[in-house]
Structure 1
Amino acid sequence: MAKILVTGATGNVGKHVVAQLAEAGLEVRALVRDPGRARLPVEMVRGDLTVPETLHPALEDVESVFLLWPGFAAETAAGAVAAIAKHARRVVYLSADVTDLAEDEEPTLFHQAVERLIRHSGLGWTFLRPGGFATNTLMWADQIKQGVVRWPYGQAARSLIHEKDIAAVAAHVLTSAGHGGAKYVLTGPERLTQAEQVRVIGEAIGREVRWAELPPEKARDELMAAWGDPAFVDGALEAWKEFVTSPEQVTDTVERLLGRPALTFRQWAEDHAADFS
């Protein structure tokens, strides 16, 4: 099998993609901004997706690319996709659980825009569309250490997915046939409310942690101070509100593709217990 390039190789998902492909004995190259600082068990090449002209050395002799875009700025995405299409044959793109658009509809979301660029690039493609990431609950780490999480919408129900499962699906798709043109919606195996997630994390670290409901308007002030982007803050609050009455869907995609159940949120919490202690 020809070489596989992994972007976002030091991130929560990318590092597991690299590890799983390397453990399988495959020829893997990691795109990193600073090879001197990265600690990866594969060949590393300096490059930056937001600077497309830096990608060509990393793409030499590459057949497949795992693409994880850094951030949500799409200005240079066209150049990056064009560079990938010049060298590789297919791309597995870590997207999000977005709605498909008709060709005459303008993308309103970043991932919709990148998906369209890839579909029009001539590359073979597979889109991975995970819902909520379990790792995003690390934002509660400081509060959990204090024993109380003050947050809005405790009854918002999510089917959070372990980053190892996203990576395992990516590795499977990169190394097997039959996934061209697939759009895989990935979730964890169960729904838990945010208050239940906090309880499970407490059980994983052996300490009771309480949920304290925070009024959305107060949460907005705190999130603005932390995140600084009004659109991002308001979007997050609206999503949590929606999940109270319309819980996040649960799919069996991970189990169908990997032949084993998706990892539970409890397993994720146990894997990350040290981050909360």
Structure 2
Amino acid sequence: MILVTGATGTVGRLVLEALPTGQAVRVLAREPAGLTVPHPRVEVVRGGYGDETALLDALRGVRRALLVTSCVAGDDDALFIRAALAAGVEQVVKLSAGAVSDPLADDLITRWQRASEEALVSSGIAWTLLRPRSFMSNTLSWASSIQAEGLVRALYGRSANACVDPRDIADVAVRALTEDGHAGRAYTLTGPEPLTAFDQTQQLGRILGRPLRLEELTPDQARAALLRRHPEAVVEALLSSALRQRAGAKALVGHTVRELTGREPRSFRDWAGDHAGAFAPGTPGRVPGAP
């Protein structure tokens, strides 16, 4: 039995879709109504990490689990690990972040992810760590301004990130969940090239067949926009992360996706072509989550 958490989110949803149809799968979800269940062998347990009864029910008989947490500085990882130990789970595949391996990254989000990784690694459960760079799907946050104004607003628009298609993260996660040989491994996951917001804007414009313009935000403008969606401590962490990106900390391209899947990682052009409808006029925009 495999347990998938975060199954209504960007990566968990794709993992659930990509798991073999013959595989017995269980899902832990606070809001099961938001699930897309791709095949009949998926069992759903309603609840969250703070619900000990639901968590133990979800972990009963599970051999491997995908752990996705998003409450920054919260104790969801610790709660899950404690329950997984009690249930006899053999291996946990944790969705983390590429910044964890950067010794210069010391913002709140990275410290939380680093501590969460350490809690798993020291738990005695076999572990696999997935450390992706920025999700290509984060550009969906531009959908409304592209639809209405043909405009992308971004901080440090000429700074590069080796962003990755969430489908590639999911493909690696499925291998770690269904194959042997991934325990004790930490995988940094990137796309095939470093891209700036300017590069992405240009590529989206060509795919959509319309001119798009990039407007660079000042740090104060970016802070004000982020404060409308996040607590101040998280906003400061995101701004610190953007500064590291401007310094080149996120531009390195790795080869893990190719090594584990046997194919090249998907390009941003691939991702954008498959999701062009989200940016078309009259299509409601969606702001995805990202760890």
Task: Tell me the TM-score normalized by structure 2.
Answer: 0.86
2:236 aligned partner: 234
Amino acid at match of 2:221: K
Question: Shift of the alpha carbon at 1:223?
Answer: 2.3
CA distance in 2, matches of 1:271, 1:50: 37
Question: Shift of the alpha carbon at 1:47?
Answer: 2.2
Structure 1 segments unaligned to the other structure (5+ residues):
102-106
* Contact kept? 2:120, 2:127, Cα under 8 Å: yes
SS of equivalent to 1:222: helix
2:95 aligned partner: 94
Question: Shift of the alpha carbon at 1:178?
Answer: 1.2
RMSD over aligned Cα atoms: 1.9
1:20 aligned partner: 18
1:92-241 correspondence to structure 2 within 5 Å? 92-97=93-98, 98-99=100-101, 109-145=111-147, 146-224=149-227, 226-241=228-243
* Contact kept? 1:149, 1:212, Cα under 8 Å: yes
With over 3 angstroms needed to count, the CA separation of the structure-2 counterparts of 1:275 and 1:53, relative to structure 1, is same
Question: Shift of the alpha carbon at 1:37?
Answer: 4.6
1:10 aligned partner: 8
Question: Shift of the alpha carbon at 1:228?
Answer: 3.9
CA distance in 1, matches of 2:230, 2:182: 39
Amino acid at match of 2:71: G
Amino acid at match of 1:90: Q
With over 3 angstroms needed to count, the CA separation of the structure-2 counterparts of 1:108 and 1:257, relative to structure 1, is closer
* Contact kept? 1:157, 1:194, Cα under 8 Å: yes
CA distance in 1, matches of 2:144, 2:29: 29
CA distance in 2, matches of 1:242, 1:108: 12
CA distance in 1, matches of 2:241, 2:76: 28
Amino acid at match of 2:207: A
With over 3 angstroms needed to count, the CA separation of the structure-2 counterparts of 1:100 and 1:273, relative to structure 1, is closer
Structure 1 ranges of 4+ moved more than 4 A = none
- Out of 30, 33, 37, the position equivalent to 2:30 is 33
1:49-68 correspondence to structure 2 within 5 Å? 49-68=49-68
CA distance in 2, matches of 1:36, 1:230: 31
With over 3 angstroms needed to count, the CA separation of the structure-2 counterparts of 1:53 and 1:144, relative to structure 1, is same
With over 3 angstroms needed to count, the CA separation of the structure-2 counterparts of 1:34 and 1:235, relative to structure 1, is closer
Amino acid at match of 1:114: S
Matched, 1:272 2:270: no
Question: Shift of the alpha carbon at 1:153?
Answer: 0.8
SS of equivalent to 2:187: strand
CA distance in 2, matches of 1:243, 1:257: 26
With over 3 angstroms needed to count, the CA separation of the structure-2 counterparts of 1:70 and 1:49, relative to structure 1, is farther
**Aligned length in residues:** 268
